[in-house]
Structure 1
Amino acid sequence: MKNLLQLGAMGLLVAVLALCVVWASKDANKYRKLVWVTLFITFDLIMFGAFTRLTDSGLGCPDWPGCYGHSNPLLAHAHISAAQEAMPTGPVTVAKAWIEMTHRYFAMGVGVLIIGLMVITWRKWFSARNAGVSLKSSVGSQFSRWLPTALFFMVCLQGAFGAWTVTMKLQPIIVTTHLLLGLTLLAMLGWLGASQNHHEPVAPAGRRLILPAGIALLLLVIQIALGGWVSTNYAALACNDFPLCHGALIPQMDFENGFTLWRHLGKTADGDFIPFSALTAIHWTHRTFAFIVIAFVAWLAHKALRVEGLRTTGRLLLIAIGVQLVTGLATIYLNWPLAIAVMHNGGAAFILLMLVMLNYKARLSSRFSAVKP
């Protein structure tokens, strides 16, 4: 119980630091500021989660939620040192323990902030209902109590998968799901943040982008899932040439073992070592599908540039797609450097946010067209 209270105190400290930023802000709408600060920390958490995974620190503390039953690596130093001495390059080292626990502290901080968002919205809703006041403020801006509540349940589910990531020893399907849930959390915060902002009017032509924007978001989610499968199976270097793979357009691949979802890390479903051809199939699929996603999102961004009210989002999407292509190729040609690999993960999260914003704004076009100047 003492260790749990200490862990909770660390998460509360992260949240308090964020709340200090909100309190010191000159923004009169402190709730909106809290939403965007929470989104910013969640984005950073996803980036740091990628760093944790790419440095092979996911088992830096092989238990959960603490580290060898303690609230921080300092108290568990004897256990960590013994594990590191037994296996110097193994999953447990002092550095990896600190990376893993820092990730957990920030995750708990995000959880506290989301609980704060939920409590604030429900209190305001009850106060407004008793006063007979509507919380809808203007076109494109509303005060919803359901989305923060959904965020609370989502962060609880994300925490459960974070625990299973450790207790199930980095099983690929669990780690990939953990990644997807984290990005879903980010997308939901992005939608909540967009609902709190005042947006410039979107031309009626934006209505024509509602369906393409939804399709682009779906394609990106599939691509992120494929990228997560590459990362969790350590298949990033399965093809080290481009545009060919092992000198062939379609190399020898084992899709059956590569895309068997329920299996242990580095193993087939039968418990044998996973063949290299399976890793090749994982990498090649992610690489090939990337061109479909890039082409469609680039086309969508080009269309958005022609619509008043969507031009900034379209411009940012084009830039992000270009950077993502460069970082993806750099991971191949430069032999998977850590900094660029983390940037590639962050780029996917940023594109996701931009597509969420584009979907939100495209849906505003019909509402704005109904409002007289």
Structure 2
Amino acid sequence: MKKYFLTSAQIALILVYLVIFAGAFVRLTGSGMGCPDWPKCFGYYIPPTEQQELLFAAGKEYDKGQVIIKEEALLVAKNDFTSKTSFDSTNWEKYTKHDYAIFNPIHTWVEYINRLLGALAGIACVITFILSFGYRKENKKLILLTFLICVLMGFQAWLGKTVVDSVLNPFKITTHMLAALLIVALQLIVIYTVKKHNKTLVFNQKFNWILAGALGLTIIQIVLGTTVREHVDIVSETGAPEIMWLQNPTIAFYIHRSFSIIVLLTNLYLFYLNRKLTLGFNKINWVIIILFIEIISGILMYYFAFPFGTQTIHVVLATLLFGVQFYTILESNNKKMLF
């Protein structure tokens, strides 16, 4: 079991990041309500590709829970039945969790793939939890951590359901993102715990404190970013063109934009300390590269009217930045380092 544990944990982490990417792409394409029900999609395990499949048809076999769109409303089959020539309302009940009843095949399949990746990530986390029992004698903490990750993945699935039921409530979307970061952090702890560390890193208390502060700044920036995104979503839903999405931004946008300077300077100082004191934390180089690309994507969104893909890149890079910084903190607190 030990032999495959690390590989399984790493695969689970990659899948979680793929889910984050897919979730960002869902928001980019406005596909959040592509599947208006949960866990199925329009009552199907494999969603339809044409609206015709969601319209009432005579002589068709319907399964319990299957969904159709009729008169701009979602109707759910009460039981298994075969439809007659005319529509019989007694076989159907209205979907009551929300009144969103629009079918867009692209949105539906983007959201469906997002859910599939989430399911795969969940399965990978469960497998990692099972494999963690190989460490039950020497490190029971791994069993607890991997179990907690599974619980959080279940919470994420439930939260995803409530996001759909609430027709994409902004607060719940933000909570969804923060929960994903917590999962990433726990997965990195698991991976770091079992991974062999051959590099010699030099402990420096000043570097450690600033690194912890930099991670805190990143989390604040992510929260501010989701607030800005909520405003953008509201404006975009009015049908306004991209050039107008940040024409009258909230104060959160200006704080988010200005705060990025503090984030950059803090991490540049860490880069300087790492080089000057020869501490050996090479992942700080990754942090700087990610930050510069992140800032460029932000500039492109604001000054060039949200070029396609920049929003997704911006979100995914923020989570990657968090992951690299958190892993560097784990390295900097390694008890085996030279003092």
TM alignment of 1:1-373, pairs within 5 A: 29-74=3-48, 77-78=51-52, 92-121=103-132, 123-126=133-136, 128=137, 134-135=138-139, 144-199=142-197, 200-205=199-204, 207-234=205-232, 279-308=249-278, 310-364=280-334, 366-369=335-338
Question: Matches of 2:126 and 2:165 in 1, distance apart?
Answer: 26
SS at match of 1:294: helix
SS at match of 1:145: helix
Instruction: Report if aligned partners of 2:11, 2:124 keep a CA contact under 8 Å in 1.
Output: no
Instruction: Report if aligned partners of 1:111, 1:152 keep a CA contact under 8 Å in 2.
Output: yes
Q: 1:124 to 1:282 in 2, by over 3 A?
A: same
**Equivalent residue letter for 1:285:** I
CA displacement, residues 179-210 of structure 1 (integer Å, 9 cap, x when unaligned): 111122122212222222222121133x4322
- TM-superposed CA distance for 1:73, in Å, is 1.4
Q: 1:76 to 1:195 in 2, by over 3 A?
A: farther
Instruction: Report if aligned partners of 2:228, 2:250 keep a CA contact under 8 Å in 1.
Output: no
SS at match of 1:368: coil
Instruction: Report if aligned partners of 2:8, 2:127 keep a CA contact under 8 Å in 1.
Output: no
Instruction: Report if aligned partners of 2:32, 2:168 keep a CA contact under 8 Å in 1.
Output: yes
Question: Matches of 1:293 and 1:149 in 2, distance apart?
Answer: 33
SS at match of 2:35: coil
Q: 1:319 to 1:277 in 2, by over 3 A?
A: closer
Instruction: Report if aligned partners of 2:49, 2:105 keep a CA contact under 8 Å in 1.
Output: no
Question: Matches of 2:248 and 2:29 in 1, distance apart?
Answer: 23
Question: Matches of 1:83 and 1:63 in 2, distance apart?
Answer: 13
SS at match of 2:41: coil
More helix by share: 1
**Equivalent residue letter for 1:340:** T
Question: Matches of 2:7 and 2:156 in 1, distance apart?
Answer: 24
CA displacement, residues 317-356 of structure 1 (integer Å, 9 cap, x when unaligned): 1111111111111111221122222111111111111101
- TM-superposed CA distance for 1:177, in Å, is 0.8
SS at match of 1:305: helix
More strand by share: 2
Runs of 5+ unmatched residues, structure 1: 1-22, 129-133, 137-142, 239-264, 267-275
Instruction: Report if aligned partners of 1:219, 1:293 keep a CA contact under 8 Å in 2.
Output: yes
- TM-superposed CA distance for 1:100, in Å, is 0.5
Match of 2:83 in 1: none
- TM-superposed CA distance for 1:76, in Å, is 8.1
Question: Matches of 1:325 and 1:65 in 2, distance apart?
Answer: 36
Q: Which TM-score applies when normalising by structure 1?
A: 0.70
Question: Matches of 1:233 and 1:41 in 2, distance apart?
Answer: 29
- TM-superposed CA distance for 1:112, in Å, is 1.0
Question: Matches of 1:204 and 1:190 in 2, distance apart?
Answer: 20
Structure (1 or 2) with the larger CA radius of gyration: 2
**Equivalent residue letter for 1:172:** P
**Equivalent residue letter for 1:325:** I
Question: Matches of 1:181 and 1:106 in 2, distance apart?
Answer: 16
Question: Matches of 1:335 and 1:237 in 2, distance apart?
Answer: 13
Instruction: Report if aligned partners of 1:235, 1:279 keep a CA contact under 8 Å in 2.
Output: no
- TM-superposed CA distance for 1:91, in Å, is 5.7
SS at match of 2:257: helix
Instruction: Report if aligned partners of 1:73, 1:101 keep a CA contact under 8 Å in 2.
Output: yes
Q: 1:315 to 1:91 in 2, by over 3 A?
A: farther
Q: 1:168 to 1:310 in 2, by over 3 A?
A: farther
SS at match of 1:311: coil
Q: 1:315 to 1:174 in 2, by over 3 A?
A: same
Q: 1:113 to 1:83 in 2, by over 3 A?
A: same
Instruction: Report if aligned partners of 1:235, 1:280 keep a CA contact under 8 Å in 2.
Output: no
CA displacement, residues 261-316 of structure 1 (integer Å, 9 cap, x when unaligned): xxxx99xxxxxxxxx99843232222122222222222223323345453311111
SS at match of 2:271: helix
Question: Matches of 1:144 and 1:185 in 2, distance apart?
Answer: 14
Question: Matches of 1:147 and 1:224 in 2, distance apart?
Answer: 24
Runs of 5+ unmatched residues, structure 2: 56-67, 74-100, 239-245
RMSD: 3.1
Match of 1:131 in 2: none
Q: Which TM-score applies when normalising by structure 2?
A: 0.77
Seq. identity, %:
21
Question: Matches of 2:105 and 2:174 in 1, distance apart?
Answer: 25
Question: Matches of 1:211 and 1:285 in 2, distance apart?
Answer: 24
